[in-house]
Amino acid sequence: MRVLLLDNRDSFTRNLEHLLVAAAGADVTISAHPQAADVAAQRWDLVVISPGPGRPCDHPGYGPWIDGGTPLLGVCLGMQILNEHFGGTTEPLPGCVHGRAEPVEFLGRTLRVARYHSLHAATVGSGLEVLARTRSGIVMALRHTERPLLGFQFHPESFLTEDGGSLVHSALCLLGLR
Amino acid sequence: MAVPLSTAPFASSVCADAARFARVAGCLARRCDADVLLPGGSGPAWSAGWAAFAPTDELEVTAATTPDDLKHFAFDKPGLVLGFLGYGFGLHLRGVRSVGSTRERLGHLRRYAASVRFDPVAGRLEWSADEPALAAEVQRALAQADQRTGPLGPLLQGPTGPVTASLGREAYEAAVAETLAHIRAGDVYQLNLSTLLRMPVPAVDPAALFQHLTRQRPAGFQALYRPPGMAVVSSSPERFLQVRDGRVLTQPIKGTLAFERFAAGLVERLRDSPKEDAELSMIVDLLRNDLSPHCTYGSVKVERHKAWFRVGHLLHLYSDVVGELRPDRDALDLLLDALPGGSVTGCPKSTALELIDALEPHDRGVYCGTVLALRGPRELDSSVAIRTAVWHEDRRELSYGAGSGIVVDSDPAREYLETMAKARPFLQWAKR
């Protein structure tokens, strides 16, 4: 499986790469900018939008990737970029949660997942459905109801996340890649 | 596997414990201007001690120095290389700003004609020298180390002036508040904010300063390094990167508790604090990331999380993050891509570096860079250059940086006090 990992100058991108290789045997290419022509010209089985600093509007250029038809997973900022693409909004998260794990119910299982975010998906874009929330109602996972597009607010690649490999496997199933 | 120390014509080895090595290194530092790495303390420490003198080659690191230049210097010939790479060289490598704007030295490396290596596990001292006169110096140091030494002479010479801080209490607390606004805006999760203390000092006795610092606060990564015009006197408690037989280890420290009197409950208080836990966890994820580009897939693991140790009046939390170096990579690939160390920048690193550059009025210089020992492409040990005094001959000035990791629930006043607790040895010198 050929995976293109689009990096938003984040410090967890390499962890995500190692997780994708370990959990899915993926062949991962990391690209620093979503508009790089040499990566856009190739065919990919999966596109992943990395976490990163700032708000979705600080990272333009993802539209063609989201609309391009290739299955896509957005992590943290990547999920917020996906959500805003469909008209959802991003707001400050009261208190912020950084470097903490908490149990979240996802696809019928409860797993401890790592959270690193100052912002959250306050309203959900059209055509998207929420797959997981925290106990206090913060969106933790969402997907498009008709297209292979999925977002995780939590960080499957963190060492604080319980069984990150199974979360990658679930993502691939939801995206029709397994 | 032990690598031969050198092919030097004069070499020998003797039994020794850590205290004896410290005395031998002290003699060589005083008599021969030796550069020294001294393991000590109760936490992580240099895997080997070194006292090396009579430099044969030197590399002054500048903005024009490439990773290949460093590799040629370090790896083209066998043998020990000691030195430092400053925080500014890390900024340069990360493309944060033009280094033309700094007057701080970016780094300096050396090779030597004579060296003494202390293996703390085997309890042995091995030495080698290229010439009989150098061998005689080592033998004299071995003999003198068994005699009682007198009290230390003056550390700082001449009339010294008052200590000034690049960020005083008010300015530091204001910068913490600004950092918190960036954290709430999602620009960073954590940022290490420092202040640089400076004191005008006409002259220092680097060897005495080093001995004083190591007696006062025996940290794991003590180092004395004296390139021309400068003395680096480091009492760092923190390992940056180690490579041994292809195995990579980093031991980031985050989570600090300052105390006046040690009590058992303090450790639990530190380990059970959600704030300190989060602070360490973020940096562990960052260091996993920084090991990953040069480690084999699936090899990067957190082996110990939230271990603790005590140094002076501080308790620290740290973790062991390990990996296997890819066969096609060397220790400098790893080190240069990970510099500056994540525990002194914040996360995500590239944004943290830019914000630090804007928030701090000083150049960190040696502080927050790394002091390192290399022996070939796959043998490295290095510290994070914190708790480090630097004497600048041209400015007749002694400087000492101190910082603190700022996270969303940081209290500005408390973070300022933490930096002052870390600067305690320097502030005590100023009073002498």
Question: For this structure, is B431 an active site residue?
Answer: no
Residue B228 contacts by C-beta under 8 Å, 6 or more apart in sequence?
none
Residue B37 contacts by C-beta under 8 Å, 6 or more apart in sequence?
B46, B48, B49, B50, B82, B221, B222, B223, B371, B373, B381
A2-174 fold:
Rossmann fold (3.40.50)
Q: Residue B190: give the domain boundaries.
A: 163-200+247-368+395-431
| Partner-chain contact B187 A53, CB within 8 Å | yes
Question: Residues A87, A126: contact at Cβ < 8 Å?
Answer: yes
- Say if B423 falls within a structural domain: yes
Q: Please identify which of the residues B126, B137, B254, B276 carries the catalytic annotation.
A: B254
Q: A130 to chain B, minimum CA–CA distance in Å?
A: 22
Chain A: residue whose CA lies nearest to B189: A98
Q: How high is the pLDDT of residue B2?
A: 47
Place of tokens 């041994």: B244
| Partner-chain contact A14 B186, CB within 8 Å | no
CA distances from B232 to A19, A146, B215, B393 (A): 40, 62, 17, 11
Radius of gyration of chain B (CA): 21
Sheet strands side by side (includes A2-6): A27-31, A2-6, A46-49, A72-75, A149-152, A139-144, A128-133
User: Which among B427, B343, B420, B415 has a CA at the least distance from the CA of B389?
Assistant: B427
- Say if B102 falls within a structural domain: no
Query: In A, residues 15-44, which contact B (CB 8 Å cutoff)?
Result: 15, 17-18, 21-22
User: What is the domain count for chain B?
Assistant: 1
CA distances from A12 to B136, B291, B344 (A): 53, 11, 17
Per-block average pLDDT, block size 10, for chain A (178 residues)?
96 98 96 80 93 96 94 98 98 94 96 97 98 97 98 98 97 97
| Partner-chain contact A22 B298, CB within 8 Å | yes
Residue B17 contacts by C-beta under 8 Å, 6 or more apart in sequence?
B123
3-class SS of residue B331: helix
- Say if B416 falls within a structural domain: yes
- In this complex, the residue of B183, B305, B347 whose CB is nearest that of residue A11 is B347
* CATH number of the domain where residue B294 is located: 3.60.120.10
Q: How high is the pLDDT of residue B1?
A: 43
CA distance A65 to B417: 48
**Run of H or E including A107:** none
B314-324 vs B253-258, strand pairing mode: antiparallel
Q: How high is the pLDDT of residue B266?
A: 95
* Segments in chain B below pLDDT 50: 1-3, 99
- Say if B291 falls within a structural domain: yes
Whether the CB of A53 is below 8 Å from some CB of chain B: the reply is yes
CA B21 to chain centre: 20
Q: Where are the alpha helices (DSSP H) in B185-261?
A: 206-216
- Say if B386 falls within a structural domain: no
B49-61 vs B35-38, strand pairing mode: antiparallel
Centre a 10 Å sphere on the Cβ of residue B151 and count the other Cβ atoms it contains: 4
Q: How high is the pLDDT of residue B71?
A: 98
- Say if B301 falls within a structural domain: yes
Q: How high is the pLDDT of residue B53?
A: 98
User: Which among B19, B28, B13, B52 has a CA at the least distance from the CA of B375?
Assistant: B52
Domain layout of chain A by residue ranges: 2-174
Q: With beta carbons under 8 A apart, name residues in chain B contacting A159.
A: 281, 284-285, 288, 302, 305
- Say if B413 falls within a structural domain: yes
Q: How high is the pLDDT of residue B34?
A: 97
Which of A3, A5, A9, A11 would best serve as a mutation to test chain B binding (most B beta carbons within 10 A)?
A: A11
Question: For this structure, is B238 an active site residue?
Answer: yes
Question: Residues A21, A30: contact at Cβ < 8 Å?
Answer: no
- Say if B321 falls within a structural domain: yes
Centre a 10 Å sphere on the Cβ of residue B170 and count the other Cβ atoms it contains: 10
Residue numbers of A annotated as active site: 76, 155, 157
- In this complex, the residue of A9, A119, A160 whose CB is nearest that of residue B281 is A160
Which of B282, B321, B353 would best serve as a mutation to test chain A binding (most A beta carbons within 10 A)?
A: B282
Q: How high is the pLDDT of residue B159?
A: 67
CA distances from B89 to B106, B280, B337, B347 (A): 5, 25, 11, 19
